Copies of this chain bind each other. A is one copy, B any other.
Amino acid sequence: MARPTPLSGFPEWLPAGRVVEQHVLDTLRRTFELHGFAGIETRAVEPLDQLLRKGETSKEVYVLRRLQEETAEGAADERSGKGDKQLGLHFDLTVPFARYVLENAGHLAFPFKRHQIQKVWRGERPQDGRFREFVQADIDVVGAGELPYHFEVELPLVMAEALGELRSIGVPEVRILVNNRKVAEGFYRGLGLDDVEGVLRSIDKLDKIGPDKVGALLVAETGATPEQADACLALAAISGSDAGVAERVRALAGEHGVTSELLEEGLVELSALIDAAAVRAPGVVVADLKIARGLDYYTGSVYETVLVGHEQLGSICSGGRYDTLASDGANTYPGVGLSIGVSRLVSRLLSAGLVRSTRSVPSAVVVAVTSEETRAASDAVAVALRSRGIPVEVAPSAAKFGKQIKFADRRGIPFVWFPAGVGADGEVVAHQVKDIRSGEQVTADPATWAPSEEDLWPRVVPAGE
């Protein structure tokens, strides 16, 4: 077998990189659970017809087929409906969660808060920050019949806290940009523009083509007058992280004679989020009224998150409010949630050299082996240390001690333990442990010695440290 090469779009990490990813995942999970989100996991596959209900992503779905079905009969069976139902890999965690809620509604307590950390697959063209297989970490709250607005305030704050917990390892500051469908829709309709989706599609191009061309587009494609187009652009230009945002929108609405209950409802909601965020996550949450992506399917708040200094990477954490996350005819389940693109984040942390792990293996200690005949003595030291929660491995061979120290050094393992025994000239030698960084070597007892808290497990730290 020749040396295999990576598959584009399917990222994998070396062990040191996986330490970073695992730390990120553990930190997210802990924060989610401190907020009461129960962890669930769904199967990786869904019936294809379910996956295709969300139109736009249909072309990116990976379809599964059992190899043995690839015969003529198998294919015929499938076409005639006799074979298994066609399955595809899920492309996000929202569609499977909605299905899980419907399937298990009788066994869940609502409002149901869940976190879900899993891989998803999309057959997209791979490029920087876009993968075909990647890990997402989602939180959602779903209600039965109703879901109070305060969850739209709570969820981005949970994400702000989770991402904030990663600052200490070198993750850059984040900005959570928020908008509200009701503000945009209320304003546009109040202006007399009823093609809300059309206006949003144009506004979404602001970053790419600039306000002049967007203004022309609004006139050409949504039938807006130049004045209406200017008003839409003026709304999109408003951003900020205090109560001034709502005031500026109200003033703008006043200038254009816009009165709208929906607009006012949206502004009250947006203000509540901004106010709470100013207390609980100062500087993190910013209202940004040009955010249009997602407003076509979300029904209330919408969120995007950028890494400060890495804005061109795109959003690393997005989501919003759905009035109908799931519905089975009898019941409707509104939801609000956000999803972190963990692979996108970790890939950037590693490729930009922002973080590092202090070592690539769990072991804090290598127990040296004096001779294969006395390997059991080394094993006994390892057992004693592990029983007190210290990660340890025993040297693979009874090589010269210099070589065994090199074994530890190559893996970044800080300590080498020399077990007690009989020395070359017949004298009894006590247990000794060497810090191979400082060279310091001391007598030690396997029943009591421990490394410092800092050296116990690999840690993830900013790359400069």
Contact = CB atoms under 8 A, between A and B. Distances in A.
B361 A43 contact: no
Give the number of copies in the complex.
2
A4 B99 contact: yes
Contacts of A66: 59-63, 123
A192 interface: no
A82 interface: no
A11 B60 CA distance: 25
A192 to B, nearest CB: 35
Residue in A1, A88, A411, A457 with the greatest tally of chain B CB atoms within 10 Å: A1
A104 to B, nearest CB: 6
Interface string A57-75: 0111111111110100000
Contacts of A154: 394
Contact of A133 (B36, B44, B88, B276): B44
Interface residues of A, number: 98
Contact of A5 (B64, B87, B103): B103
Interface string A147-161: 010110010000000
Contacts of A87: 7
A329 to B, nearest CB: 7
Interface in A350-396: 360-363, 372, 375-376, 379, 383, 386, 389-394, 396
Contact of A89 (B2, B14, B64, B113): B64
Contacts of A41: 12-13, 18, 21
21 contacts: A1-B102, A3-B103, A4-B50, A4-B99, A12-B40, A12-B41, A13-B41, A15-B108, A18-B40, A22-B39, A33-B391, A34-B362, A35-B386, A36-B391, A36-B393, A44-B121, A58-B67, A60-B68, A62-B64, A276-B376, A280-B383
A410 B36 contact: no
B18 A109 contact: no
A119 interface: yes
A33 B390 CA distance: 9
Nearest 6 pairs of A and B residues by beta carbon = A36-B393, A66-B123, A33-B362, A36-B363, A10-B43, A15-B38
A52 to B, nearest CB: 8
B14 A396 contact: no
Interface string A38-55: 111111110100100000
Interface in A394-408: 394, 396-397, 407
B59 A40 contact: no
Interface string A241-285: 000000000000000000000000000000000001001100000
Contacts of A100: 12
B36 A113 contact: no
Given A6-B103, A66-B123, A111 B15 contact: no
A37 interface: yes
B7 A362 contact: no
A25 to B, nearest CB: 10
A59 B67 contact: yes
Nearest to A101: B4
Contact of A3 (B1, B18, B67, B102): B102
A119 B44 contact: yes
Given A119-B44, A133-B45, A34 B114 contact: no
A328 interface: yes
Given A18-B40, A66-B63, A391 B4 contact: no
